[in-house]
Structure 1
Amino acid sequence: MIEIRNVSKTYGNKSVVENVSLNIEKGKITSFIGPNGAGKSTLIKSILELIPSVSGTVEIYGKTYKEKRKIVGYVPQRESVDWDFPTNALDVVTMGRYGHLGWFKRPGMKDKRIAMECLEKVGMEEYAQRQISQLSGGQQQRVFLARALAQDAQLYFMDEPFVGVDAATEKAIITLLNDLKKQGKTVLVVHHDLNTVQEYFDWLILLNVHLIAAGPTKDLFTKDHLQKTYGGKLTMLDSETSPILINSR
């Protein structure tokens, strides 16, 4: 579904992503994992052309992102959003419909109905008229997930969707991801909590500036692969079936 070839990105003299090449398969829930500063979010933003790459190419079904942007949904990190912008939850979700509208067209009743249905799917219908600044962190995250759903994409990128949310929201998010998978959608998630990786994800992309490995979670979630990815930042104990994270800094 996605072909990434020799993508690199630098900030100043520092390489953040270096010569990454991989294929991402359709219909899986895939996680980017690696230490802080490993380039996970940077790689996603390069794929979505939110930031320019120094080199390399990305194709989605053999086309550029601009040619396929209508089938791609994006949930950014919460801290990158201006939550003081004066708008309510329903309006934010309705923004996800803009890709289905032509230039200068305003959302109609059908778009509002779809937006409301998406709020219902994430348990936020009661907050449709609530200003986004008045929502909790978990509620804000659910609203942005609903906006991505309203887009009715085939491919979803989610940057740290589980950070700063309560247990109920985390459960709602993973239920939603599995529902998308059942519909044949593809989901890519930047994730930091290694203790939930095996439960949540089918496929892993291990990244630390360079690509360490990519493949099924059952094959890559091992002490050896994680030590290669995290180096001395990871302390682990072995259980009978898998490594258990004790400390990562």
Structure 2
Amino acid sequence: MNAPLSVKNISVAYQKKPVLRDVSFQIPEGKLIGIIGPNGAGKSTLIKAILGLIPKLAGDVNIYGQPYKQQRKMVGYVPQRESVDWDFPTNALDVVMMGRYGHLGWFKRPGKKEKEMAMNALEKVGMESYADRQISQLSGGQQQRIFLARALAQDARLYFMDEPFVGVDAATEKAIISLLNELKNQGKTVLVVHHDLATVEEYFDWVMLLNEKLIEIGPTEDVFTKELLKETYGGKLAILDDKKEQSVILS
């Protein structure tokens, strides 16, 4: 059985400055995986390099044993919200139906089936009543839910989500993590760029620690340790525990 994602020796540079160095890993199916590291560690760059959105200096990517270009239909992507042109004149339903275009091809227009799938995806994220709303009129959390619905409509097997919890309210964050767990329970694999260390153990089965190079990847209980976090972030790191909550402080 081929792994959902196999990455071998990926290196990326911006204007000759290395951003990722020789990153290799493989992940199992049906896991919710957090990509963790400091600002500028290359987390978003890694996703974009895997998806061919930016050029690589070197490296290979296989999705279920085949090059990404041959497996696009199996991959869903939710970009960072600030990277999207929210003033584009379209409504929420049309954005979600874009998730079906890869299955339809360029010359076939979405029909009744695609609209039903899109509405079902909107319902799953609690946004069905906003189907006709222009995306520019939605709040940040609502916009994020729309892009999650688009990824759902794509019906992929492997999902990449770049900081989906940034700028959303508590209710939206709860809805997103519930949705991610639903995908995992369906046997799908989800990689999430994440910055809130305090929720890592609650949210993720596996963790990837990244800071220009791969520090470690594996089950959360094995990887999310003081020693490896210090190696990833540098400086001092204190983890404060009590019975109800955990806070992580970096200095």
After TM superposition, give the deviation of residue 3 of structure 1 in Å: 1.1
The 3-state SS of whatever aligns with 2:102 is: helix
1:8 aligns with 2:36: no
Superposed counterparts of 1:222-233, under 5 Å: 222-232=225-235
Superposed counterparts of 1:1-249, under 5 Å: 1=3, 2-232=5-235, 235-239=237-241, 244-248=246-250
One-letter amino acid matched to 1:78: R
Give the Cα separation in 2 of the matches to 1:173 and 1:237. Answer: 26
In structure 1, list runs of 5 or more residues that go unmatched.
none
Contact 2:198 2:248 in 1 (8 A): no
1:126-182 deviation line (CA, Å, top 9, x unaligned): 100000000000000000000000000000000000000000000000000000011
Contact 2:96 2:149 in 1 (8 A): yes
1:179-218 deviation line (CA, Å, top 9, x unaligned): 0011100000000000000000000110000100000001
After TM superposition, give the deviation of residue 25 of structure 1 in Å: 1.2
TM-score by length of 1: 0.96
1:80-111 deviation line (CA, Å, top 9, x unaligned): 00000000000000000101103311000110
Give the 3 Å change call, closer, same or farther, for CA 237–61 of structure 1 in structure 2: closer
One-letter amino acid matched to 2:163: E
Give the length in aligned residue pairs.
247
The 3-state SS of whatever aligns with 2:114 is: helix
Task: List, as ranges, runs of 4+ consecutive aligned residues in structure 1 with deviation greater than 2 Å.
Answer: 237-241, 243-249
One-letter amino acid matched to 1:143: I
Give the Cα separation in 2 of the matches to 1:181 and 1:7. Answer: 26
Identity, in percent, stands at 69
Give the Cα separation in 1 of the matches to 2:213 and 2:158. Answer: 24
Give the 3 Å change call, closer, same or farther, for CA 178–90 of structure 1 in structure 2: same
